[in-house]
Every structure is written in C-alpha cells, then in structure tokens.
C-alpha cells in the first residue's frame, strides 16, 4: 500500500498517511473549493488501510482552521477511523490545538463525542 502525501496549499492541509508505520496526519488549513474532491482520496486510502491495519494507528489532527464543509468530511474520516479497533488496530487520535484556540479545541471535543472515540488534546504555542 502506497503512502499518501499531499503538500499543504493556501486552502488545503498537508496530508501524510503512512501504512508502514500506521500514522496519519492532517496539518494546516482546510477550506478547499471542492471538499469532496479533496477528501475522497483520503477516505479511499483509509478504507484500504482498514483491510490490513498496523497494530497501532496514530492519527494527528493538526488543523488550525477548517470550514463547515470540511467538518463533514472530517467526520467521515473519523467514522472510518472508529472502525479500526474492530479490524485489530489500537486507535490513538491526537487533536492538536493552539493554547488559546478554544474553537478548535471545542470542535475536537464535539467530534470526539459524535464518533464516541476518546481524543488526546495536545496544546501548543504558536510560533
């Protein structure tokens, strides 16, 4: 299974999904013109990953902003990730947020409740 690597743009996040080590990361800002078109390859990759996941899967959400249409797609991603324990993989979700960014922190808590998956909330100081 190939890695999925996409460079960050002004309105799309960096994507780094690596099956060999069981890590996935979204970093940056997400407000693509066509969210379905952007997120569909990510969803397909996770669906494929679910077939032969690593014993531990770590997903790092490092988004500093995402729009409403991105949040629907992020929920789809999280729902797929939520199926990984049934496939034999321990799932760890790290939700990174700037120390004073209560909006991103609150969004993480809402997502966690919606998908019934505990998140690790990791504050950082913007440089």
Quick check: 31 pLDDT over 80? Answer: yes
pTM for the full model?
0.95
DSSP 11: S
Give the pLDDT band (50/70/90) at residue 2: very high
Q: What is the pLDDT of residue 1?
A: 87
Give the pLDDT band (50/70/90) at residue 61: very high
Give the pLDDT band (50/70/90) at residue 126: confident
For 62-118, what is each residue's pLDDT tens digit?
999 999 999 999 999 999 999 999 999 999 999 999 999 999 999 999 999 999 999
Question: What share of the chain has pLDDT > 90, as a percent?
Answer: 98
Spans of all domains in the chain: 35-124
Quick check: 50 pLDDT over 80? Answer: yes
Average pLDDT, the chain: 97
Quick check: 127 pLDDT over 80? Answer: no
- Distance from C-alpha of 122 to C-alpha of 40, rounded to nearest angstrom: 27
List, edge to edge, every strand of the sheet that includes 119-124.
4-6, 14-18, 23-30, 56-66, 90-98, 119-124
CATH topology of domain 35-124: Transcription Regulator spoIIAA (3.30.750)
- Distance from C-alpha of 108 to C-alpha of 126, rounded to nearest angstrom: 18
């Amino acid at each position: 299974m190939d890695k999925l690597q996409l460079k960050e743009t002004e309105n799309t996040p960096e994507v780094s999904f690596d099956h060999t080590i069981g890590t996935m990361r979204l970093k940056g800002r997400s407000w693509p013109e066509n969210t379905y078109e952007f997120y569909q390859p990510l969803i397909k990759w996770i669906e494929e990953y679910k077939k032969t996941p690593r014993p531990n899967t770590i997903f790092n959400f490092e988004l500093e902003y995402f729009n409403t249409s991105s949040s629907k797609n992020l929920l789809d991603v999280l729902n797929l990730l939520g199926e990984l324990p049934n496939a034999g993989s321990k799932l760890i979700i790290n939700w990174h947020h700037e120390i004073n960014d209560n909006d991103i922190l609150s969004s993480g808590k809402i997502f966690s409740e919606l998908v019934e998956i505990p998140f690790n909330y990791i504050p950082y100081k913007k440089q």
